[in-house]
Structures are given as C-alpha cells and as structure tokens.
Structure 1
Amino acid sequence: MDLSAADVVGELKALRKGRAIFTTPLADRIGPALRTTCGISEADGTVEMRRKLLDRLRPLVESLPDDLKIALRAAFALDERARKPFYQERVHWAASTLDRDDRTVRRRIDEGIEQIAAMAVATREAELRPRYPSRSWHTEELRVTLALDQPVPEAFEFRRVIADADEIAVLDLALTLPVSGESGPGDLAVDVFHGGVLAGRVMESSDRVGLALRLPEPLRRGARHEIGLRFRAHLGGPRYVCVPRHPCDLFDLHVRFGARVPERIVRLEKVFQSDAADAGTRRPRGAELAADDAGEVHVRFRDLAPGFAYGVRWGRTGQ
C-alpha cells in the first residue's frame, strides 16, 4: 500500500487507547499503515505483532527530546512504570513525571506521534529502496535446495522476480554450476516446473550456463512472477554459488550432503567468482559451517551484488 504519515498518525492515536501495545486482542488495533510500517503479516500472532511494534516504535521514541520521549513511553505503555490499564492514567503518570498538567502532556504526545510517524515512513521507504537498482528486473527471493546425496546431484530452484520495466518477456537467468565433462551445457538437465518455457541456453564460461526463460506473458513494471526449476548434473567442483546477473534481495540455500559430510564447509559471501572456484589448496575466506544431524547446512544472504558469488564450498581440512 502507499504509506502516508497521516495514516500512521491516525493508527498510532487509536493504538494508544486502553492498554496500548498490551491490548488483547492486538490484531484488532493494528491497521494497514502500521502493519506496513512494522512489517506485520497476516500470519503473525499476537506475540510476534507486539515484538514487531516494539522493535519499530522503541528506537523512534528514544530518538525524541526527553519530554516527548517520556510522554510517548507513557502513551504506548513502553515504560514499565506506566503500564496502566487506561490511557488517562498513563497521561497522568507522565504529567507527574514531567511536572506538567495533563493537557500539556496530551499536546506533547500528539507532537511526538507526528514526529515518529514521519520517521517511520521515511525509515520504511529507505528499507524498501533497492540497494542495487535494476532497469529490467530483479529477484525478490531465490530459494534453492541442493541434494548431493542423490545418484545425480539435484537442485530445486524457486524464484520470485519483480519487473522494473514494462514488457519483460524473457528472463536471462544464469546458473553457476561446476558441471563435469566436456560437452558443455548439454551436461546439465533443466526441467521447468512452472512459470515459463525454456527458450535457449548457452555455456557462458567453464561453469556458467546462461538460460533464457520465456514467460507466459510479458510483465509490466512492478509485477511479480514466480518460477520453479530443477537442475541435475554431476558436479565438477566442490561448491555451489549464486552469481547474480541482476540484483537479488534474498538468496536462501539448503545443501544436503547426507551421510558423506565433508571435513570442511565454508560460507562464501560477496567473493569474486574466481575465488569461489576450486583452486587446489587455496583457502577461501568465509565462516566455517557445521552440518546438522541430517547432514545439511543452511545459509541465507540478503542484498546480493550482481557479479559476486554467494554460497558454500566444501572439501578436506586445509582446502
């Protein structure tokens, strides 16, 4: 939704009534503007909604001048000493603390709400602004599950993209996979589960396959589209990375080794593609990962920069 400070002000004034953020049920007191501002989803329960409200409101309130800070702490029951069941009781507590009358405190609360609403909208807009702007399309979410304990390793990829221009008809995807053999892109089996038709592929480098996915219909600016793919190939190197051609907001990767867990597993984040590649005894920089009891590791990356590698590499200790 289009977020305005006026909408946030109105909903904050409604929220301050009764027990404020400790009202039950809380969902009835949180409107669409606050849900957008605080990142609250329909699936969130009361505890999670309250946590998100606190995470958003506390820093904003604490940034205010002292008198407004005390007034808003009381208004929303952020101060334990002011957690009274009625708004008027909290106003009176703040008036006593500030040595002012109740009417003055109410004006301070209104003034403080105006200020934090403006800051909340500005903060939310900054969070939603893409770190790496795109002129065509970008990936909002990429989730990959790689199973290495199969006769032929398989990767399932589920991707949601957003069009940043009109008439996006083809997605130029690129898969960075150390495919074994010398027959080029034919070594890689690609199945499209949903979201388009594979229109072509080409080996762009020794371990990078370019894929053209024709969409069911062209996307208009701002439209979202989801695709599901499966890849199967014998790997020629101990790594799996995403090297995005277009910006990517989130990359979530599960790697299943099964019973044959390597001695060393390393998280790779924003490294050069050449550094991610298998290069003898070169030790890639990155945090070491431990597989769980199922022989799996899980990594997540945000705001991926185009052209850099993100993922995992594995091998023997010392590699």
Structure 2
Amino acid sequence: MRPENSFPFVRELNELRRGRGLDAADLHQRIGPCLRAACEIADADQPAAARQKLVLRLTELCGRLPPDLRLAALAALGLHEEAAGEFLDRRISWLASVLDRDPRTARRRIDLAFRRLDELLGTPARERDPHPLTGWYVESMKAMLRLDREPADLQEERRIVAEVDELDELVLSFSAPAEPGRDPVPDITADVLFGGEIVEARQVSASHAQFVMRLPSPLRLGQRHEYGIRFAPRRTALRPYYVLTPLRRCEEFSVRVRFDRAAPPSRVWRLNGVPGRVIDDGVDSGDALTVNRVGEVGLEFHELHQGLGYGLQWSFDPRED
C-alpha cells in the first residue's frame, strides 16, 4: 500500500477542490508544481490559458475513470455541469444524493477517484496534433450504417468535450463521394435525433456537405455533450466503404455496418489509419473481416490520428487468385 505522501497529485487536487473548485477566481495561483508539469502549464501562461490546459487535461483523465469515480471527480473539482459554481460542501451533498449515499461515503468516493487520477497524471500526456481544429473534440463516436434498406441510412452518436467556454454551435461535415456521371445533383441531408438542431446546411460540393448544429444550451470549458444525427446521402450507388477521417481529435470510434443478407459482399476488410488514396484505390488491406449470420460487421478504434482513415471497405467481386 502506498503511503499518503506518495500521492503528490492528490495533495494538489485537494487544494484545487476547495471553495468553488476549478471555477475559483484565483485558480491559476493554486495550481501546484506537479499539476503544472503534467498539464504543460508554463510560467508565462496567462490565467485563462492555464485554466484551459488544466480543465482539458483533467476532463480527459476523468473520462477514463469508472462511471462512479468519474462522477465523484467531476463533482469534487466543480467540472460537472449540475454542480458547477457551488461550494465544496454543496457539491459533496449533490454527489451524495446522486449516488444515494451519505456525504461521508461521497467523500471516500472522491478520495478514491483522486488516487486514480494521481496514477493517470503520472503518465505522459497523449501527443496532440500541432495544427488541431479547436473548440471541441470527440471523446467517443458510434456509427450504424444500414445498407439493407433503400435508401441507405447512417446514424451517428457522439460525445464531445468543449475546449472553450460558451460553445454554442458545431459545424458537422459529411462526405458521400458521388459516382462520376451517375449523381449530377447533390443531395445530402441530415436530421438531428437528439442533442441539438440543424440551423444551416451547406452543400459544399456534389460529394460533401456541412451542417451547423445549434446546441440546447452553451457548453462550458470541459463540459461533455451527447448528440445523435442521421445522414441520408441520396445516391443511385454508394462507394463500397465507410470511413471516418477525423479532422479534429477523436479518442474512440466504433462502427457497425448491416449488409443486405440477400446480396452480401464477397470480401470485407479493415482500414486502420490509412491515407485517402489507399481507400480510393480499393486496395485490400489483408485484414479480413467476417460478416456474421445477420449480415453485420462491427469494429472499434482508439486514439485515432487526424487525417487518416478508419473503418471498413468491401467488394462484391470474388477474389482473383
């Protein structure tokens, strides 16, 4: 068992949770040396920059905790939207009511969460793209593509994290490459299932569309939000792949494709971080996938690299040996 003095981050986290937590006006003065190093906070950083680095790093690491410990850490630090702005005793009372436990148990849950954060903060931070799209990032994304119906139907559910205060709108992009000479009229539509509303649609080209989605309420720095959206590319034929090419940070991605069982593809293969040209050329990666008996294939990816493609590709032509 580790002695108490071997948890340097716990001591500094306990200092930060006092008062209004990470909403405190003097937050930049209360960030300890260990947290400054772990969050890459420089002496020259202004208070707003120091707060942003700290909040985003702690929000990311809280996301790796089990649900009850994640809730405890977010409440203790004042990062949970339902407990933000309150003093520590009120945040602990709120946590106890949500957990259906007494305040003493809630405090023990916070202590355990901080110890887990101590372990995570001691590991190197993930590499960041030197030229990222800012404002928000995708913590997790789930996609379901139905090819067993006409027209094809794609539903996506995403959990995002705000990287700025007062994040009010998201610009969402979707591409459905047209078959040359077969789809002269572009027609890509989107419908929000939950978590926002489309306020503007832009057909950038015959293959690419952008949609501006307004959120139910502005997000705070570090706040999570979930939304679901359905895209409908009205095409006479779709290219034989489904790929996510993240232009902003994306930590987890899972996809499930349901094929028509009456006419399944002859081959399906995984695309795990490949350039766009490889996808366009239709080169079999050799990482074969099996369509199950209900016509589905499912995949998961973690810590995706921006600008590379992740997903699956298929062919209806038999392999030539």
TM-score, normalising length from structure 2?
0.58
CA distance in 1, matches of 2:63, 2:238: 46
In the alignment, the residues of structure 2 paired with residue 37 and residue 251 of structure 1 have an alpha-carbon distance, to the nearest angstrom, of 15
Q: Which residue of 1 aligns with 2:291?
A: 291
Change in Cα spacing, 1:127 to 1:293, as seen in structure 2 (3 Å) is farther
How high is the sequence identity, in percent, across the aligned residues?
30
CA distance in 2, matches of 1:206, 1:292: 34
Q: Which structure has the bigger radius of gyration?
A: 1
Does 2:248 match 1:246? yes
Asked if 1:231 is matched to 2:231, the reply is yes
Amino acid at match of 1:218: P
Cα pair 2:155 2:229 within 8 Å, conserved: yes
Q: Name stretches of at least 5 consecutive residues in structure 1 with no aligned partner.
A: 10-35, 44-116
Is 1:195 the equivalent of 2:185?
Answer: no
Q: What is residue 274 of structure 1 aligned with on the other side?
A: 277
After TM superposition, give the deviation of residue 310 of structure 1 in Å: 1.1
* SS of 1:275 mapped into structure 2: helix
CA–CA separation in structure 1 for the residues paired with 2:250 and 2:8: 32
* CA apart distance, 1:271: 1.4
Aligned position for 1:121: 118
Whole-angstrom distance in 1 between the partners of 2:223 and 2:145: 28
For 2:259, the equivalent position in structure 1 comes to: 257
SS in 1 for 2:251: strand
Give CA-to-partner distance per residue, 1:91-147, whole Å, 9 cap, x none: xxxxxxxxxxxxxxxxxxxxxxxxxx9998244564775744663110011101111
Distance 1:255 1:174, change over 3 A: same
Q: Secondary structure at the match of 1:306?
A: coil
- Map of 1:165-244 to 2, 5 A cutoff? 165-179=164-178, 181-184=183-186, 187-233=187-233, 234=235, 235-244=237-246
CA distance in structure 2 between the aligned counterparts of 1:221 and 1:118, rounded to whole angstroms: 24
- Report if the CA contact (8 A) 1:269-1:286 is conserved: no
Q: Is the 8 A contact 1:162 1:225 kept in 2?
A: yes
On the 8 A contact 1:240/1:312 being kept in 2, the answer is yes
In the TM superposition, 1:105-184 aligns within 5 A as: 121-124=118-121, 126=123, 129=126, 131-132=128-129, 135-179=134-178, 181-184=183-186
Cα deviation per residue 1:35-89 (whole Å; 9 max; x = unaligned)? x79844459xxxxxxxxxxxxxxxxxxxxxxxxxxxxxxxxxxxxxxxxxxxxxx
- 1:183 shift after superposition: 1.5
TM-score by length of 1: 0.58
Query: Aligned in 2, Cα 1:162/1:147: closer, same or farther, shift over 3 Å?
Result: same
Given that residues 283 and 318 in structure 1 are in contact (C-alpha distance below 8 angstroms), is that contact kept between their aligned partners in structure 2?
A: no
> Which whole-Å CA distance do the structure 2 matches of 1:156 and 1:297 have between them?
15
Q: Do the aligned partners of residues 301 and 131 (structure 1) sit closer, same or farther apart at CA in structure 2, a change above 3 Å counting?
A: farther
Inter-partner Cα distance in structure 2 for 1:305 and 1:262: 28
Matched to 1:245, the amino acid is L
Instruction: Give the number of equivalent residue pairs.
Output: 213
Residues 9 and 121 in structure 2, CA contact (< 8 A), matched pair in contact too: no
**RMSD of the TM alignment (CA)?**
3.3
Task: Indicate conservation of the 8 Å contact 1:256/1:295, yes or no.
Answer: yes
Give the distance between the partners of 1:268 and 1:124, measured in 2 at CA: 32
8 Å CA contact retained: 2:133, 2:247: no
